[in-house]
Structures are given as structure tokens and as C-alpha cells.
A and B are shown apart, each in its own frame.
Chain A
């Protein structure tokens, strides 16, 4: 037996305030082998990495950043609970991480941690920046004053890491503070000031670049213009840049499915492989470009230091509906797709604000609604000029986008005032100095988020796609040789479980002006909204091209009444239904992953369905009442 197996694994917790360089140090110590999970019962992400030092095995736990051990937010509470040994045994030793340039602030947290009398050492980051800003800190004196080992490190350059590693091998030998720091905040501040008085011989100059950049980026007029420009570019990039890659991926999935159908004998196995498995995997992979791009840009703006400024600029607007500046990016991203939008809520520290943002994100008009809107608007709304260059079709599209956005804001305002009143978490946000991020840190953050999506949400999306395939493909009906393939597939679909479900729910959706065919489309669109287009195409035995399908929809006559199925009232009602309803398995899966429970996806699905039903019913009745029956 090796020595490593005999000595127990040493568990080291990294404690520090946000922006102290904790994540960079964590990556430098553990490489890119972090295990990302969740703390039981809470939504906070848990990051752990392994480290082998000689014959000692270590596990490094990257605790959430916090300004105080007197926790007010969920992720801060996790820090105290880990230190208390609430989830598993308390860490054997703690590495305090503090930025040398902001010691006056960090010492307030250090004092709280030292009072716990757990073995501690201090990793002092950004000492190079302190020197560049002409500050001078006497590390030996700081070590003597605190009574614990102090190791200057520069995480991304690897400087000081060897010394830190050597210290980590023997935490039992670390010196302990001779006297405990005081407890009350004013006394802690006085304690910190007295330590600073004889260790920080020269405080760093202000960060010049940050001063200059803030004068521009936070300027009352220029700052707002730049904010708008950054957000428009951000949105444009995740919307437009991701599109070719997404189309290529879904194209590849379609080609592969086609190849399976051509090369395998027709039957259940080929259908499952092509339409179930390949289509299902494709529906997961199709999100990858967008999520990678979103997180790439998000972490870039975050690491540069702009994200906090953006939240600062826009905070007041969101404050009116009970949210805060950091919700903005998530809501904006949801215009492309609610899946990355919901994942972007991780930057919001208040659990209440984060939850409300997650719950209203599906109301932002995502790109999956676009094919549905285009189909219905181009087939049923006349393309006539309204005012100058404005045409009716464009105005209707704009109206649908606005309806989604205003509803999201209204629901958020309602939720923060009624169901989820605030715990009074104060809005406190630090503006960090601007920094040029390192490629390594950035890449590891993007990869971490992407792999978490694939593992946690991807599996659920895949499972749901396969279940829906089953409902649409069973029971099997033998093809009639006299019919065209299109007629055969239309017949098979009507007699499938999904087809029967469509008939079964017809009484429930009839008040909205929907018949069973729309019902099947709605069921199929639970996988993803745009699926209703291909499902309707299948039912009408038409090609998926919107023009041809549009003609088929316009010409559909109800055999019982002799009236058209798609009356203006029905079309308006269906459009409104798509504005509100949460028909998207991927969004539900990501909500489940981000809130760590099925409760909130169920709530979101329920309230959005109720909203969709009510609004569609009202729209249908109103249009009928104002003579739109024909």
C-alpha cells in the first residue's frame, strides 16, 4: 500500500471576497480538473479540485466569494455552512485569498475568519499590481501582525505557487494568531487600520486606467450610449453569430437522419435512430454554439470589469420592477434563447431576484418563436403599407415582441410585490478595477458552464425528445400502398398517441379557436416551439416551406361547419398563445438545473399556460366580437 492511501485526504477551503482572485488561484492549484456540482438543497454551485503533493492528496474547495461571514445571501450562507461542517466535515485548513490592493477591505473578512480558530494561511494576490501602482506592503510584518503564514502569489503567472503548495502539505504546522481579532464591526475596522498602519507603508495609487475608463464608460450621456451599443452588439452576436453554426448543426443532424433512412431497412429501428435519437442529440447540440458564445462574451465582459458597470448603468430601470441591474443581461440573452438566458442569471447574487428573472425569462421572444410567427403572419396578415415604410406584417411582429417584453416586466413586478416579496437584500455591488483577462481563466469558465449544460440539461432534453418521438410514432400504422408518402405520414400522425391526445384535448382548446390539428402541433411543440411548423406540415401533408404550408392552412375547411379553420380570430389567438406558453423542454430542463428542483419549472409552466390560455381566449373572443369571424 502506498503512503498516499494511508494518510487521509486533506481538505482545503479557499475563502475570499469576490474579485480577490480566488478562481484564478483555484485553477492554478488544481489545473482544469474541477468537479462542478451543487451543495445539497441549495442552488449554489460547488467547485472542487484535486491536488497531489508528494505523498499527500488534497482536495481544494473553491467557496463562493463573500464580503462577510454574517451571511445575507444564499451563496454566502454556503460559506459559513461549509466552515461549520454542515454538509460534510469542516475543511482541515483554510486558505484566505485577498487582493493586495484592497487589503483595507479584505482585512474585515480576514478578521471574521481568524476568529473561528481554524488553521489558516493567507494567499496575497495581485502583489504585482500593488507594486505597479507604487504601493508598498511589508509582507513579513503582515505575517507577524496576523500570526498566520502569508504567501504572495500571482496565480496566472504561477509565481509563489510552489511556496503555497509546500505550506499546504503541512497545515498542522501553521502558526496561529496569538490574539483573536475583535468581533464588532467598528472594532474590526480599527484592528484592520492598526495592522495597515505598520504594514502598508505606501497605499497603491488609484488605478489610472480604471479612472479614465470610468470617466468615459460611466459618463451620464456617453455611458448610456456605450451601454446600449455594447448590449446591442452582445445581442446581435449571440443572435446572428450563433445562427450559422446552429443551422449547420441541425443541417448535419437532418443529413445524418436522412442517411440512416436511406441506408437502413425501413422500420422501427431506422425511425428510432433517425427521428428519435439523432434528432434528440441534435436538439441538445444545437444549443452549444449559442451557449458557448453567450458565456464567452459574458465572462469576457465580466473579467474585463464591464459587467458591473453595465449593471450600475441600468440598475434604476430594473429597480422599478423589484429587480436589479444584473438581471438585465439575462433578460436580454433570453431574446435569443431562454436557455442561455437562464444560465446567465448566475451573476445575480440575490436568490429572489435570480428566481424572478428565471421565471420571466421565457416571456422574452426567443428565436424559436420566430418560425411560428413568420408562418402565421406571412400567411394571414396582409402585407399592406400602414404608415410610410411601416407595413402591417412588420408591425404585427413588433407587437408580438413588445407584448412578450412588457408581460415579462409586468410579471416580474407582480412576483416581487406578491408571491416573492424581497428579503430586503441590499443592493451592494463592487466596481472592480478593469483588467485584461487571461485566456486560461476565460476558457476554463466557458468550458465549465458548457459542460455543466451538456451533463445536467442535455440529458433531460434528450430524454424528452425521445419520449415525444415515441408519442408521435406509435402506435405504428402500416402504410397504404395506394397513398402518397405524405398522405401516409399524415394518417399515421393522426392515429399516433400524440394525434389521439390532440383529439382528446380538443374540447379544452376549442374555446381558444383551436382544432385537434393545432392540438397535435401544440403537443409536439413541447419539445421546442418551432416543431409545430414541421408537425403542421406533416399533418397537412405539405412541405415544411412556410409558403406552401401557409396556403394549406388558409385553405383548410372544417368538414363539420364548412367554415375555415384558420379564421383571423384563431390565428390571433394562436399567436398570443405562443407569446406566453412555455412550450420548451430545454427551458424547463435548464430551470430545473439552475433552481435545483422541479418546483420552479412546474410553477413557470403552470403560470405561463394559465396566462396563455386566458390571453388566447380573450383574444379569440375579442376578434370574433369585432367581426373577424371570416
Chain B
């Protein structure tokens, strides 16, 4: 039982997890979003050079730029402020999201698999995403944007802890 829910005081809330993700995650997210903007914009601009209907190609390119570039600059900072994680002896605890924030807890005794995933961009920035799954089809907990060596240690640690914790995970 936890003592925190007892006693008097202000309203209850979930405290932020202890650790922030790696600072390089901002650059990673920004690059991803900028690629999302650059690829269609580039195609439109290149077509506009060769095709006569210039205006109708440059207009969507301009709209994309006006909408996506500020998002690509601002959103990763917001994500970086929100994304936090923590591993205790009993559980993995994360906070993710921006407009919709999400707090997730997966207890050690229910963890089934621990994986890391590194896309090409993540490899370039030296980052990794750790995914912890439970027996629930909806219960996976993800920690993106960790330093890849830290992620490897974390996976090692989680695997050892979950092996030591009894229970059939359902």
C-alpha cells in the first residue's frame, strides 16, 4: 500500500517520472518532422520548375511550409518537456505525448518482453527506443529517445529483474 494516497493535502496527481530523455532526441524528432515537410515540398517545387501550372503546385508547398516548419521547430521542444521515464524495482513508469499526455505503468511482474529499436535516424543520433510489452495487447510501454548505451544497459537490467520476479505475467 502506498502512503501517498492517504492523509490530507491538495488534490492527488501523478508526479513526473525522474529522468528526462536524451537531449539529442530534440534534434532527432526535429529531423524527422523536417523530412516529413521537405520530401513533399521538394517534389512540389521540382514539379513546379518543369510544369506550367506553377501556381497550383507552389501554393500547397507554401501551405506545407507555413504549417509544418513551425511545428517541426516547436513540437520537439514540447515533447522533450513532456517525455520522461523512470524504472523502479517494481515498475516501469513513463510520461509521453503533448496535446494528449499519457502516463503508463507496467509492473515488473507482468513484463513479458523488452526490446530496443533503432531506426536509421536514431542510429545517426546515437539514440534508441526501448519497448516493454506485457500480456495485454494494449499495454506496451515505450521510452523513445534514450542514449543507445543507456538503452542497452536498461534492457539488460529490465531483463534480469523480470526474470527474478515470479509470476506468469497474465
Q: Do A and B come from one complex?
A: no
